[in-house]
Structure 1
Amino acid sequence: MPQLPNGAATPMSVVDVLRAVAGLPPKARASFCWGQCVRGTYAPSDQAKEITKSRSFTMPSRVLARFSADGVPNAVDADGRSLRGFSFRLGSGNHRSEILTQSAPVHFARTLDQMLAFLQARMPGPDGKPDMARLEALSAANPETLRQASYLAANPPPASLACTTYWGVHAFPATNAKGETRFIKFKVAPVGEERRSAEDAAKFTGLLRDLESRIAARDVRFSVMALLDRPGDPVMDVTIRWPDEDGREAVRLGTIVITGTESNEVCDASVFNPAELAEGIGHPPDEIFAARRDAYAISQTRRR
């Protein structure tokens, strides 16, 4: 069985391998390399202040966001397993928060070393394909690296970025005006749309075209939810869900309404950095979050 690198992984090495695995050009994003930049508005709920004092979540604001997905724009998502992303910025000035969410509630690695090994095992060989024996050995030794793919296989996404539910895989410490702190996970759920069937998703041939038409019809809105922790919930491992996560108490922090598209240069000019969090929402304690905030900055610098 392969050994995970001992101390060899850095945010920069992970960015390098992400690019190499996907065969990306130098100025492309290292992950979620295609997508659509959009604008909108955020309206807080009356309950938001019970969870956090962060003005980015308790005050109305403009929204800059980016829908994204792995793969090729307007291609058929034949197996329904491609990971999608939704990054958004709320608030302004010193009261700005930038949140990254994705279409699976878990990450594919628990540590940075594991993440690097996961990506290296998928590097194509001379025949253009990864070494399956190496890949299977890594998966057997690190079963948590299979959880994201297993979720996507069991839960094919709908045929629209606007109808997809997105999760923040990290546990964020949230502090309200009373000084009470608890961990929350973000869940961004579409409003007024039913999930499409797996068959619809397989037949769909243009995620971006669908998104543009829905925005033009004023048909894209999301509830920003906070899933509330319970004693003993794991907060250091982003490859596992909280027990009964789908059925537990959640508070609606507010509603995002997407009102128009922006040129992708607008989103490229300012990275969605997960470290950008307004007072009242703290940094998650897990290793992947610490690495991710550095990797995003590295990737943006290289794109310039």
Structure 2
Amino acid sequence: MDATIQSAPAQVAEPAAIVAALKTNAGNPKGVRASFAKGQCVLGRFTSAREAASVTKSKSFTAPSKVLGRFSVGGGNPKVADSNRVVLRGLSLHIGNGKDATDMLFENAPVHFAKSTGQMLEFLTVRAPGPDGKPDAQKVKAFSAANPETLNQANYVAGKPVPGSFAGVTYFGIHAFPVTNARGLTRFVKFELIPAGGEISLSDEEAKTKADDFLQQDLKARIVGGGIKFRMVALLDQPGDPTMDVTLRWPGEDDRQQVTLGTIELNALSDNEPCDETIFNPGTLAAGVAEPPDEIFAARKLAYAISLARRRSEIAQP
């Protein structure tokens, strides 16, 4: 009988250790985010759809409001090339005001690369650069064989062409959120942003000809030309859906019943100070949307605050 590699149960890891590992793998650039370090702040509006109230009573999604957003490229390197096909593209949103505000974090993959903090830290640790500046390929291979679910995100991204515009990306909120509607009915949903103009992609050959900041240039041109629109939808749960493991998609997720919550219109560039002086806090959720139950979400709340404190300290240093 052939032997199989089995992963040992991952221990709980402190969010500070995860932030440190992210920074190490990026080369420890100073004064920037531990992840999604490269980005551009934008301004816009959210217009709610009539059917939003059937999903959630949250005023973040049932009333019109201003929006603060940030498009970003994944990883902790603020100089990463926009044509890099293996890093994520992200969009963070602050919708609503005061106690009715909600922060939403989206990326162009529907799953995370780890289901627990311990697994996440180990994933990052085996990819830490060695003396030659590269990770140990054998360690990465062995970890991936023992933890195949940690490849789900990378395989999804690898199966897609290079994004040609921030405006032409479908963005996923990877967590399952408990939402409560006006009638008091609570269920799980996943949030998704669908580009109004369809997906925009590049071939690998086209991507090679692009400037390192071509996504930023394209974003500015589209804002000047009238702005960018996304349709925000909620994918509705079904019995048996995995809500605790963010490395897994829901069965038949792409064909799920979805409800349109409204439209995001991003029509102005902002200097980056409003986005950089604080965080898009995953724990900022207006009544009607509760915190997802998975371990990664709980860790993100702490890790974002730790990353903010670290970059503020680095900026303050002479």
Give yes or no for the alignment of 1:64 onto 2:68: yes
Return 5+ residue gaps in structure 1 as ranges.
none
Match of 1:284 in 2: 292
Post-superposition CA distance 1:10-64 (Å, at most 9, x none): 1000000000000132321000001000000000000100000000110000000
Match of 1:126 in 2: 131
* RMSD over aligned Cα atoms: 1.7
Q: Find the partner of 2:232 among 203, 208, 224.
A: 224
Contact residue 225 and residue 251 of structure 1 kept, 8 A: yes
Letter in 2 for 1:77: S
Q: CA deviation at 1:197?
A: 4.0
Post-superposition CA distance 1:117-158 (Å, at most 9, x none): 000011000011101111100000000111100000111242
Deviates more, 1:261-270 or 1:238-247: 261-270
Change (3 A) 1:153 1:181: same
Q: CA deviation at 1:271?
A: 0.6
Change (3 A) 1:65 1:77: same
Change (3 A) 1:265 1:248: same
Give yes or no for the alignment of 1:207 onto 2:241: no
TM-score of the pair, normalised by structure 1: 0.95
Q: CA deviation at 1:194?
A: 4.0
Post-superposition CA distance 1:87-112 (Å, at most 9, x none): 00111011110000101000000100
TM-score of the pair, normalised by structure 2: 0.91
Match of 2:25 in 1: 21
Q: Find the partner of 2:275 among 267, 270, 282.
A: 267
Return 5+ residue gaps in structure 2 as ranges.
313-318
Give yes or no for the alignment of 1:51 onto 2:47: no
SS for the counterpart of 2:44 is strand
Give yes or no for the alignment of 1:171 onto 2:176: yes
Q: Find the partner of 2:41 among 22, 37, 40.
A: 37
Post-superposition CA distance 1:181-204 (Å, at most 9, x none): 110001011102343243444543
SS for the counterpart of 2:301 is helix
Letter in 2 for 1:15: V
Post-superposition CA distance 1:281-302 (Å, at most 9, x none): 0000000000001100111111
Contact residue 99 and residue 274 of structure 1 kept, 8 A: yes
Match of 1:152 in 2: 157
Change (3 A) 1:117 1:5: farther
Post-superposition CA distance 1:153-181 (Å, at most 9, x none): 11124210111110011000010010001
Deviates more, 1:166-175 or 1:212-221: 212-221
Quote the sequence identity (%).
Answer: 50
